[in-house]
Amino acid sequence: MTDTKPTDFRNGRADTQRSDIITSIDKVRGVLAGLKFGSITLTVHDARVVQIDVTEKTRLTS
């Protein structure tokens, strides 16, 4: 008997990589919750988010 992981045939990746996607989405949601003005840049390598850059803007009123 061999252990086989279920595969998502649309992209050929195992379902375990789906948890990486869920983790990345949760982290982006957390950043968005604390960001009022700014931008978020995601760096993706081999279909995985490997870096999240956040640039926050501060609006000054006169």
pTM above 0.85, yes or no: no
Name the DSSP letter for residue 4: -
**What torsion, rounded to 10 degrees, do the Cα atoms 14, 16, 17, 21 define?**
140
Segment 7-54, tens digit of pLDDT: 555 555 566 678 889 999 999 999 999 999 999 999 999 888 999 999
